[in-house]
Amino acid sequence: MAIPQYRMATAAQFVGRELGASEWVTVDQDRIDRFADCTGDRQWIHVDPDRARRESPFGGPIAHGYLTLSLVAAMVMELGIIPPDAATGLNYGLDKVRFIAPVRAGVRVRARATLLAAEPQNGARLLLRLNCTLEIDGEAKPALVADLLCLLIGRPRADSQATSPIQESERASDEA
């Protein structure tokens, strides 16, 4: 998905705005098992459906919190958070994460994101701060809320040294 008129130079104009919601993604038992294999976190509440149905307060297996968190980055990319004039965007970290509700095996989730800040950095870079909510299909409470940091790296200019998004915006104003 592309966000109309969204560029590195205009990102600050989007602060405070919701950028959209991703497509729904199913978190099935196979995905949970593969995440457990990758991380070594093989707690029964995640990987033993029979025991989880008998003993868990959730009535069955649930996804790892970190599995649900790991889905957010790709979902935010799907929204178009990396504008076409950026060379790339890097996961720069998280400021705050809260796991609100469990994600039961087999349910669908999607991310909804709001741009909280767009802070120019040195070397044609822009640090984005996004508030992301991972919604659970049919549930009132979200799986998680997180403040995600994304560092946009501008494309190098062929005719000069790298400029900041603010310098690009000023140049565009001067040319108009």
CATH, residue 94: 3.10.129.10
Residue 54 covered by a domain: no
How do the pLDDT tens digits run along the chain, 176 residues long?
A: 788 899 999 999 999 999 999 999 999 999 999 999 999 999 999 999 999 999 999 999 999 999 999 999 999 999 999 999 999 999 999 999 999 999 999 999 999 999 999 999 998 999 999 999 999 999 999 999 999 999 999 988 766 554 555 555 555 445 54
Q: Which two tokens mark 128?
A: 């984005």
**SS3 track for the chain:** CCCCCCCCCCHHHHCCCEEEECCCEEECHHHHHHHHHHHCCCCHHHHCHHHHHHHCCCCCCECCHHHHHHHHHHHHHHHCCCCCCEEEEEEEEEEEEEECCCCECCEEEEEEEEEEEEEEECCCEEEEEEEEEEEECCCCCCCEEEEEEEEEEECCCCCCCCCCHHHHHHHHHHHC
Residue 116 within a domain: yes
Domain contains 166: yes
Whether residue 3 is contained in a domain is answered as no
Residue 34 maps to a domain:
no
In a domain, 42, yes or no: no
pTM score of the predicted model: 0.86
- Write out the residue range of the structural domain in which residue 117 sits: 11-26+71-175
In a domain? residue 118: yes
Position 19 in a domain:
yes
CB atoms within 10 A of CB 133: 18
Count of domains forming the chain: 1
